[in-house]
Amino acid sequence: MNREILVGDVLEKIKEIPDKSIDCVITSPPYWTMRDYSVKGQWGLESDYHQYLAKLGRLMDQLRRVLKDTGTCWINLGDTYNDKSRIGIPERFYINCIDNGWIARNNIVWAKNNAMPCSVKDRFGNKFESIFFFVKQQKYYFNLDAVREKPITPTKAFNVRVRDTDKARFLQNATISEVKTHNKKGEFMGKASKEYLLKWQKNEDSIHKTNPYHPKGKNPGDTWLINTTPYKEAHFATFPEQLPTMILKCGCMPGGIVLDPFFGSGTVGVSAEKLGLRWVGIELNNDYVKLAKKRLEKYKIQTHLHFHSANSDNNNKNLINNLINNEGN
């Protein structure tokens, strides 16, 4: 299964994707009451936010079905206001997922320095969104090394008098006589064995423990500063490409397949192509399907892009099954 856009309602088209066939899910559902895309059956215009959350719950059940046991699921979701009050849709969604059996690994803050200007005068402007990281089981694919942040300057062990000022830790492996040769600051004040002095000079791990810095860089943490990027075509809510690329590097195994059930203009597909991954998308809006096809056309080397309309027959499911069997999982 690769380079397929299933056109139609997400809750119907996702039924055509076989169980446990997807390695990674990345998506951003239309936010409630934020935009009218002028497409019949669109998400986000439900009369009540409870209805919206219920539909998201049904989608998450389907995503759990199609996701491999070792797969990862990443949902970007924003909030809205009603009668002056922030509704808390992301938080409600997050708790619902946990209550329904998903394992929540992170609530990532996507911070944007170039967020849209806000004219409101009685609260602060909104400059972040949530990205929820879910898995199905405790053991799953995750490659932290692929996204570690390189240090600005080369790492080296701190001088022992700077780093190891806590007496109990500093003298953890020292003998009683060696403890007596240090003051409360951990400074060497007297005589010690030649062996101990050599360890001091070499800054050996036996005394000062290992260098706390990972040679491949630090864990980037759960706050991602990624600015939005302009897209000249007619789509209002495109991901900056850096965002799905970051997720795919750590959350999708090499050669794996990623699903975006709200494919839009195809940014997740573009990121997958650049990393040598497979992808499948679901999109209701035919105009966005055209945009995605235009963006992804240059990556069409061996396989043609497939577009299955909302009234496709049951042969679609058999086609996808055959593709998976031929390409492997």
pLDDT in tens, the chain (329 residues): 799 999 999 999 999 999 999 999 999 999 999 888 888 999 999 999 999 999 999 999 999 999 999 999 999 999 999 999 999 999 999 999 999 999 999 999 999 988 777 888 999 989 999 999 999 999 999 999 999 998 776 655 444 444 444 444 455 556 666 666 666 555 666 655 666 656 555 554 444 444 556 778 899 999 999 998 766 665 455 789 999 999 999 999 999 999 999 999 999 999 999 999 999 999 999 999 999 999 999 887 645 566 555 444 444 444 334 333 333 33
- Residue 201 burial class via C-beta count within 10 angstroms: exposed 0-12, middle 13-18, buried 19 and up: exposed
Pairing of strands 278-283, 257-260: parallel
What is the assigned CATH class of domain 4-149+220-327? alpha beta
CB atoms within 10 A of CB 227: 11
Distance CA 314, CA 169 (A): 66
Rounded Cα gap, residues 240 and 246, in angstroms: 11
User: How many CA atoms does the CB half-sphere of 234 hold within 13 Å?
Assistant: 8
Helix (H, G, I), strand (E, B) or coil at 135: strand
> 67 with 25: CB under 8 angstroms?
yes
- Residue 263 CA to residue 259 CA, distance in Å, equals 8
pTM of the model: 0.76
* Side-by-side strand order, sheet with 22-27: 223-225, 103-111, 128-135, 67-77, 22-27, 257-260, 278-283, 4-7, 306-308
Instruction: Kindly report each contact of residues 292-301 with a partner whose C-beta sits within 8 Å and lies 24 or more positions away, as own/partner.
Output: 292/5, 292/263, 292/264, 292/265, 292/266, 293/5, 293/266, 294/233, 295/265, 295/266, 295/269, 295/270, 296/3, 296/266, 296/269, 296/270, 299/3, 299/270, 299/273, 300/3
CA–CA–CA angle 104, 125, 88 (5° rounding): 35
Alpha helices in 218-312 (DSSP H): 242-251, 267-274, 286-296
At 154 the pLDDT is: 62
Report how far Cα 59 is from the mean position of its chain's Cα atoms.
Answer: 18
Q: Please report, to the nearest 10 degrees, the dihedral formed by the alpha carbons of residues 87, 89, 94, 100 taken in order.
A: 110
User: Which pLDDT score, from 0 to 100, does residue 20 have?
Assistant: 98
Q: 320-329: long-range contacts at Cβ-Cβ below 8 A with a sequence spacing of 24 or more?
A: 320/1, 320/4, 320/16, 320/17, 320/18, 320/21, 321/18, 323/1, 323/2, 323/4, 324/1, 324/18, 324/21, 327/1, 327/2, 327/278, 329/21, 329/68
- Please give the pLDDT value at position 321: 40
Per-domain boundaries in the chain: 4-149+220-327, 160-208
- pLDDT score for 113: 86
Which helix (H) or strand (E) segment is 60 a member of?
helix 49-66
Helix (H) or strand (E) holding 95: helix 89-99
CB 248 within 8 A of CB 258: yes
Please provide residue 215's backbone torsions phi and psi, each rounded to the nearest 5 degrees.
Answer: -60, -25
The answer to whether residues 323 and 1 touch, using CB atoms and an 8 Å cutoff, is yes
Q: Which residues pair with 131 in a beta bridge?
A: 76, 108
